[in-house]
């Protein structure tokens, strides 16, 4: 049964006016000026996400504070690492806006030791935030269909220190990835025409799947929770993602 839980306005809306995130000149010792300014910008962004209600828990706040988004952003976009909007990562794909990552990681109710499948690995940023939240005993399998992006994600994960907690897989994850199932959580970072049945089947009992479902321009973020042989579906609000391509996605 569909149950409307909350409508979160502007979850993927136009970039907010984050003028306060502008990089400031720092004369600090020990860390290059750019690095220190980015760290400060990250702290300000995370505070903003908490004040705005996108971050609700200390766990997700700590995870977003820990992961340096600038590592996952191509060099020409690096100064905009902590602006709250999606950024181009090449191959027609984007790294999601920080507030969207916050919403999705909160909605998956992360805890220590979970086994997570991510579909749409992109830069590896979202997977790193999940990995940070589920700790060293958890694991993320992150599927990316574009091989050069998967290679960049692997390098980013190495640099950020999450390579041992995140395995990047290359291929079509639109129907899920049965090899490591069942998963406690599945997080899909691209838009599907409908919830793929094989993906539901890969959920552990009590596990949940987050997936944007709809047309090419706007979707609803759904949370599907497995209860034995049944599934609860909650609509968490409107969003905009790049399409999920492949056998269970858009052609
Ligand atoms: N989570 C990413 C951003 C995802 S963008 C980050 O943090 O950077 C969506 C990604 O989904 C794109 O990289 C796109 O190539 C990928 N994608 C689309 N269809 C896919 C499929 N069937 N299997 C795996 N990845 C897919």
What are 220-234's pLDDT values in tens digits? Answer: 999 999 999 999 999
Atom 16, ligand 1: residue with shortest CA distance: 120
Confidence of residue 23 (pLDDT cuts 50, 70, 90): very low
Average pLDDT, the chain: 89
Return left, alpha or beta for 91; rule: phi > 0 is left, psi -120 to 50 is alpha, else beta: left
Task: Determine whether the shortest distance from the Cβ of 245 to ligand 1 is under 6 A.
Answer: yes
Specify which residues 119 forms β-bridges with. 143, 188
Confidence of residue 209 (pLDDT cuts 50, 70, 90): very high
- Given a contact cutoff of 8 angstroms between Cβ atoms, the answer to whether 167 and 141 are in contact is yes
Whole-model pTM over 0.85? yes
Position with higher pLDDT, 110 vs 9 = 110
Measured CA to CA, the distance from residue 225 to residue 185 in angstroms comes to 9
What pLDDT, on the 0 to 100 scale, is given for residue 33? 66
β-strand pairing of 230-239 with 219-227: antiparallel
DSSP 243: B
Please tell me the distance between residue 42's alpha carbon and the centre of ligand 1 in angstroms.
24
Whether cis (ω within 30° of 0) applies to the bond prior to 37 is no
Task: Determine whether the shortest distance from the Cβ of 172 to ligand 1 is under 6 A.
Answer: yes
Mean pLDDT to the nearest integer, 77-99: 95
Measured from the Cα of 120, ligand 1's closest atom is: 11
């Amino acid at each position: 049964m569909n149950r409307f839980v909350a409508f979160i306005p502007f979850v993927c809306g136009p970039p907010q006016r984050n003028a306060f995130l502008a990089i400031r000149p720092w004369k600090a010792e020990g860390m290059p000026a750019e690095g220190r300014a980015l760290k400060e910008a990250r702290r300000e962004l995370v505070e903003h996400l908490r004040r705005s209600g996108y971050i609700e828990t200390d766990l997700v706040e700590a995870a977003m504070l820990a992961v340096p988004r600038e590592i996952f952003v191509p060099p020409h976009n690096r100064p905009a690492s902590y602006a709250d909007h999606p950024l181009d990562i090449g191959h027609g794909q984007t790294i999601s806006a920080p507030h969207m990552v916050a919403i999705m990681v909160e909605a998956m109710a992360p805890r220590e030791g979970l086994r997570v499948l991510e579909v749409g690995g992109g830069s590896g940023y979202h997977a790193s935030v999940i990995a940070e939240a589920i700790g060293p005993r958890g694991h993320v399998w992150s599927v990316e269909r574009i091989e050069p992006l998967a290679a960049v994600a692997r390098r980013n994960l190495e640099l950020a220190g999450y390579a041992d907690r995140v395995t990047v897989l290359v291929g079509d994850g639109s129907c899920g990835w049965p090899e490591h199932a069942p998963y406690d959580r599945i997080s899909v970072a691209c838009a599907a025409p409908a919830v793929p049945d094989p993906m539901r089947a890969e959920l552990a009992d009590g596990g949940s799947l987050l997936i944007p479902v709809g047309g090419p321009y706007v979707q609803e973020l759904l949370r599907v929770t497995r209860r034995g042989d049944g599934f609860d579906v909650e609509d968490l609000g409107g969003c905009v993602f790049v399409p999920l391509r492949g056998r269970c996605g858009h052609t």
